[in-house]
Amino acid sequence: MYKVVLCRALHPNAMARLAGRRDIELTVLTDAFRGPPMERELAATIGDADGIMVGLERVQEALLATAPRLRVISRFGVGYDTIDIPACTRRDVVVGVVNGANDLSVAEHALMLMLALARRTVEYDQSVRAGTWMIQHGRRMHELAGRHVLVIGYGRIGPRAARLCKAFDMQVMVRDPAFPVPRIAADGYEPVVDVMEALPRADVVTLHCPLSAATRGMVGGDFLAAMKPTAWLINTARGPLVEEAALVAALREERIEAAGLDVLVREPPDLESPLLAMPNVVLSPHNAAAPLECYEKMSLRAVANLLEYFDGKLDPGYVVNPEALRRNA
């Protein structure tokens, strides 16, 4: 019998897969799809767990030390910056992610933010509801067609975003040091070797890279200073990729025109955050992967990571630390 702890309930189809297994003893900490991390509740129930499913809960050495039987963690997402991967590997704990499940949804969300900025969607909606009908001041509306977009990060979501931008007749530039220049060129995009040289040409910069020591704060003062004063920044990846104080200053001083942010350094944000009061900023609550279709795909893959591990057939392509998987084979 395997003891499994889910930090929150998943899509009904995924829960049905777990219910159909007689070798699984299941604990679900909350029925809420979204909400604050369940770290205290997880710590109180993880002691005899063989597998867990986490969202944005932090899994560090101290938590792992309380769970001697733990062998697999399934992350409801593709990022794993909240999990201490070296500590998991030392303890032979396999960490799985839902690669491929949320790519399209996040890419669509990035395009939604671009369109919302281009057409001032939020501002005009508020204007109509307030009875003023047409805003006569502020930024001008724009088309996306013909604008240069710089896609930073070309793993799983970046290529989807690039294709959607291309469908809108945008001129697509791509930067990812992990991908050879010929591969990006063969996909029909302009490869970028030096980001700082490309920024003065970019009308839109959209971030699709993971959070790491190398990428934390990558969008800082120098980065923003190199952008056009008419450019927009889109972030659907991780909040700490951006130095928010530098972004606020750049927006206030009109050194860039606008920003569309699904992620922030602090989530939920402090209500005093200047970003919340800026009409040239469109915000969403880290929900780029929240559409029902994406929720189902992510739920099924998160459950599959657990069950396939127990069945000895988890594909390494879904594993962050395949060395732990090999040792547990």
Same domain, 127 and 197: yes
Same domain, 240 and 143: yes
pLDDT, tens digit, 9 for 90 and up, residues 177-191? 999 999 999 999 999
- Burial of 121 (C-beta count, 10 Å sphere; 0-12/13-18/19+): middle
The shares of helix, strand and coil residues in the chain, as percent rounded to the nearest 5, are 40, 15, 45
Same domain, 254 and 208: yes
Same domain, 122 and 91: no
Same domain, 141 and 231: yes
For the chain, how many structural domains are there in total? 2
- Domain of residue 16: give its range: 2-101+291-327
Same domain, 144 and 179: yes
Active site residue 267: yes
**How high is the mean pLDDT of the chain?**
95
Same domain, 95 and 197: no
CATH number, domain of 181, equals 3.40.50.720
pLDDT, tens digit, 9 for 90 and up, residues 191-218? 999 999 999 999 999 999 999 999 999 9
pLDDT, tens digit, 9 for 90 and up, residues 36-72? 788 999 999 999 999 999 998 999 999 999 999 999 9
Residue where the block lists tokens 């699984």 = 24
Same domain, 159 and 25: no
Same domain, 116 and 234: yes
Q: Which residues contact 48 (CB under 8 A, 6 or more apart)?
A: 3, 67, 69
Question: In which band, very low, low, confident or very high, does the pLDDT at 35 lie, cut at 50, 70 and 90?
Answer: confident
Question: In which band, very low, low, confident or very high, does the pLDDT at 74 lie, cut at 50, 70 and 90?
Answer: very high
Exactly one of 267, 293, 326, 327 is catalytic; which is it? 267
Active site residue 190: no
Sheet holding 2-6, edge to edge: 24-28, 2-6, 51-54, 72-75, 94-96
How far apart CA 157 and CA 182 sit, in angstroms, is: 19
pLDDT for res 329: 67
Q: Return the CA Rg of the chain.
A: 21
Exactly one of 17, 238, 255, 301 is catalytic; which is it? 238
148 φ, ψ to 5°?
Answer: -85, 125
Active site residue 272: no
Same domain, 91 and 175: no
Same domain, 272 and 177: yes
pLDDT, tens digit, 9 for 90 and up, residues 232-288? 999 999 999 999 999 999 999 999 999 999 999 999 999 999 999 999 999 999 999
pLDDT, tens digit, 9 for 90 and up, residues 146-176? 999 999 999 999 999 999 999 999 999 999 9
Same domain, 95 and 113: no
Exactly one of 17, 147, 148, 286 is catalytic; which is it? 286
